[in-house]
Amino acid sequence: MLVALFTATAALPATPVPESNQTIIVGGDRDYPPYEYLDQSGHPVGFNVELTRAIAEVMGMKVEFRLGGWSEMRSDLQSGHVDVLEGMSFSEERAREVDFSLPHAIVNHAVFARRDSPSINSLAELAGKSVAVHRGGIMHDMLVREGFTGRLELTPTPADALRLLAAGKTDFAIVAIVPGMYIIRELKLTNLFPAVRNVATHRYGYAVKKGNDELLSRFNEGLAILRKTGQYDLIYNKWLGVLEPEHVDWRAIAKYGAVVFVPLLLLLGGFALWSRTLHRQVALRTADLTREISERKHAEEELRRNQQQLVQADKLAALGVLVSGVAHEINNPTGLILLDVPILKRAHNDTERILEEYYADHGDFTIGGLPYSEMRIEIPRILEEMQDGAKRIKRIVNDLKDFARRDDVAEKEAIDLNSVVGTALRLVEPAVRKATNRLQVNYAEDIPPVRGNSQRIEQVVINLVLNACQALPDNERGISVTTRYNRTTADAILIIRDEGVGIAQENLSRLTDPFFTTKRESGGTGLGLSVSDGIIKEHGGQLYFDSAPGSGTTVTLVLPVINKEET
């Protein structure tokens, strides 16, 4: 349904797509942050730009960015000066001019006003008012199509529309909500705010000239791969997500460092002075005093370690209580959504015939602020997405509950370790293919089955293989995956070795600690190996790590096999 909607075909000659070794010219708006814009150095940046680079990398394409005025870019696509626009909102009128990819974002538009502007509650209340909009943008097209009766002030960029509004030269402005809030923050337009949110919602994706199906399919395929590997989510959260990384407060660190280390240094200095004084006074007791100080330091270190363990255990216990409470609070509204959405779907199915008859007799009409001809397709999709989203929330909550309550093991059965490893490798094949040109897989024969949950073990294998991929500095370094059977100990063994950057010795013992990670700057949470270690221990096994900086890392997973008495 979506492919048919976004790639409407017509009897036009196919536009040739550049060969794989040729450069694809990618057009975009030079001033549409955070989706696409030129930074202070004149370089293209933004969500669309980073997403396009990732698609080009995974599809083996060469791309060149050409960002300019939006109207100019639309004309350049038709004239062939650019091959693809990396961000364009969908409409039926535009679909007659270009072919659209599957959407990579949803853009919501809002009516922005000044603090002293009269109150409004809908798009219809703008009649007779002066409204600033981006020339050639989707809202310009929409207002013209619907016969807007006010005065349109057309601007080259969304930022210009908000400047006009802030200066009092227009009554209102209609701008996409995310770029609007971004521009207000960057330009410090403190007298502006979104008066009416979500006055229009549009799907947002790549656009090519009519008939250029081959290039469109390559971008659709690349986008699908990024969604499967999770790279799309990383890019989306970086540019459009609501969470920002916390900044390091160096003054606070210095303050607490002084509180902790200055007394410690003073204490050590006192010990040293005392030792030297005693040494001068009683030479015969030097050895005894040295031993006493050493024992005291050892006792203090042991006490400090025990205190740290108690604090960590208390934190984990508090985390378990917090997760349980949050899970309960989230599950209640999620359950209501999962209960109510099927009722809404049945209600829509029952009223669809009446709406269709009215549509056939009276022509198109608006429902929820959008034409029924569009909503007849959108409503079922929205209901499906709501139900899928609620199910995803429920799955995430269950994963958090699993982390907080590791002893609650899923049902176990006899599983084949080789089969589980093979399934896991197939699931991460795109990531492995991108990370290395050398993957070696060796399966041992006649490994007895192990008792466990195949999905949980697959989760561990996937996490270990992805960690190996992330450790490789280039794709010429290799990864090897080997299974073995130790008859002496009756253990099934999986060994994953990478030729990556390795791990410092002081970090090896902390790899399975919750929230410890050496990849914080790239989005690591520190839960992956902790959860994996918990899963393996629940199955009676062990994880071992061997590594050195620059020498790669070897991870050994050991699981007991099922003995004959159990069978």
Instruction: State whether residue 81 is helix, strand or coil.
Output: coil
Question: How many CA atoms lie less than 13 Å away from 510 in the CB half-sphere?
Answer: 12
- Please provide the average confidence, as pLDDT, over all residues in the chain: 82
Of 374-378, 494-498, 559-563, highest mean pLDDT: 494-498
pLDDT at 317: 55
Please report how the helices 528-538 and 454-471 are oriented relative to each other, as an axis angle in degrees rounded to 10: 140
Q: 451: closest CA among 498, 408, 416, 501?
A: 416
Q: Which CATH superfamily is domain 2-104+205-240 in?
A: Periplasmic binding protein-like II (3.40.190.10)
CB-CB contact of 14 with 209 (8 Å): no
d(CA 412, CA 561): 13
Per-residue pLDDT reduced to its tens digit, 288-328: 777 778 778 877 777 777 666 555 555 555 565 566 667 66
CB-CB contact of 189 with 166 (8 Å): yes
Domain 106-202 has CATH 3.30.1330.10: no
Per-residue pLDDT reduced to its tens digit, 36-65: 999 999 999 999 999 999 999 999 999 999
Residue with tokens 């303050």: 255
Looking at 3.30.420.280, 3.90.550.10, 3.30.565.10, 3.30.1300.10, the CATH number of the domain 413-560 comes to: 3.30.565.10
Per-residue pLDDT reduced to its tens digit, 150-165: 899 999 999 999 999 9
Please provide the DSSP assignment of 370-412 as one string.
EEHHHHHHHHHHHHHHHHHHHHHHHHHHHHHHHHH-TT-PPP-
Neighbouring-strand partners of residue 62: 23
0.85 cut: is pTM over it? no
CB-CB contact of 470 with 529 (8 Å): no
Q: What is the largest CA-CA distance in the chain?
A: 112
Per-residue pLDDT reduced to its tens digit, 451-466: 988 888 888 999 899 9
Of 246-260, 296-310, 394-408, highest mean pLDDT: 296-310
User: What separation in angstroms does the CA of 88 have from each of 14, 32, 98, 259?
Assistant: 21, 11, 10, 55
